[in-house]
Amino acid sequence: MELKRGEFISLVGPSGCGKTTFLNAVAGFVPISDGTLQLDGRNIPGPGPDRAMVFQQPNLLPWRTVLANVTYGLELSTNMPKSEQRDRAHELLDLVGLGDVAHQYPVNLSGGMQSRVNLARALAVEPELLLLDEPFAAIDAQTREVLQVELLRVCAARDVTALFVTHDIAEAAFLADRVCVFGPRPGKIVKEIEVPWERPRTQDLRRSREFLEKCDEIADVLYSSKSAAGSSAQEEH
C-alpha cells in the first residue's frame, strides 16, 4: 500500500482486524513484525513530530488552556519562539472555528469542540502525515457529519496527507480518496476502492445515489472478506 502526498485514505475493517495496530505502527508506538514501513523512503524509527496522531479520546491536557494545548506539540518538538507558536495556534483555532475560546480550559468545552482542538493540536506541528484513529466515534451523529466536512476543509486548506481509521463505512467513503478494506486476518488489506468525487465535498453527496452505491460496494467487500484469503500487503509510503 502506498500513500501519495496530499492523499486522504480511510481504513475500514471488522473489529480486531488490526487497523488501529497498523496506525500505531505507522505512528511508531508498536514495532512491526513483518514487512517495512517507510516515510519518504526512510524506515520509521519511533514516534516523531513528522507524524501526528488524533485519538478517539481528545486527550486534551486539562490544566492547559485551549491555546496552550494547541501549542503543546510545538513546545515539545521545536525551538519556535513562544509568540510564533501562539500566532500559529490562533490561526489554527480560527480555522477550526474556535477562535473565541482560546483562553478557556478544556473542561468548559463540548465533545465536538474538544475534538476540533485535538485536530488543531495535531496540525500545529505541520506533520507529513496525519493519523486519525476513529476521532469522531464518541461524538453524536449530527456533530460527526459537521466535523467530517470541517476535516475535509481543514485538510484541503493545509494540504494534509491523512490516514483515517474508522468502522463507519459512510464516513470512510465520504472522507477518502481511497478506502482500504482490511480482512479478518490481522494486517491484510483485502481491497482498495477508489472514491472518485471531487473536493470540496458537501453534505449533499451523502444523499446521492452514487454515494450510497459506493458504500454498498465497500460493504460487500467488507462482509465477503471473511472467506477471502486476501493478498499480503506491503505497507509503504
Partner 1 sequence: MSTTTTSGSTVESKADRKGTPERALPSWLNEQKLWGIGAVVVAIILWAVAAGIQHKKLLLPGPADVIQAFADLFSSGDIWIDLWTSTQELLVGLALAVLIGLPLGLLIGWYRRVGWALDPFINFLYATPRIALTPLLIIWLGIGSTSKFAIVFLMAVFPILINTAQGVHALDQGAVRVAKCFGANDFQLFRTVALPGTVPFIASGMRLAVGQALIGVFVAELAGAEHGVGMMMSTAGQQFQTPKVFAGLFLFAFAGVAVTVLLRRVEQHFAAWRPQSH
- Cross-strand pairs, 129: 51
Considering the complex, state which of residue 72 and residue 211 has its C-beta at the smaller distance from partner 1. Answer: 72
Name residues contacting partner 1, limited to 60-79 (CB under 8 A): 61-64, 72-73, 75-77
Quick check: 89 binds partner 1 (CB under 8 A)? no
Residue with smaller CB distance to partner 1, 48 or 186? 48
| Binding test (CB under 8 A) with partner 1, winner from 14, 32, 49, 153 | 49
User: Rounded CA gap, 181 and 197, in Å?
Assistant: 19
Q: Does 29 bind partner 1 (CB under 8 A)?
A: yes
Nine-digit cell string for 185: 486476518
Q: Check residue 48 for interaction with partner 1 (CB under 8 A).
A: yes
Stretch that binds partner 1, among 6-14, 99-107, 109-117, 208-216 (CB under 8 A): 99-107
Number of residues counted as binding partner 1 (CB under 8 A): 29
| Minimum CB–partner distance for residue 101 and partner 1 (Å) | 8
* Residue 40 interacts with partner 1 (CB under 8 A): yes or no: no
What whole-number distance in Å separates Cα of residue 171 and Cα of residue 150? 13
- Check residue 111 for interaction with partner 1 (CB under 8 A): no
**Which residue, 72 or 174, has its beta carbon nearer to partner 1?**
72
Work out which of 33, 43, 79, 103 binds partner 1, going by CB under 8 A.
103
Q: How far apart are CA 77 and CA 83, in angstroms?
A: 16
Contact status, residue 225 vs residue 215, Cβ threshold 8 Å: no
Can you give the length of the chain in residues?
237
- Contact between residue 8 and residue 177 where contact means Cβ atoms under 8 Å apart: yes
* 3-class DSSP state of 152: helix
φ, ψ at 81 (rounded to 5°):
-60, 145
| Residues forming the site for partner 1 (CB under 8 A) | 27, 29, 47-49, 52-53, 55, 57, 59, 61-64, 72-73, 75-77, 99-107, 125
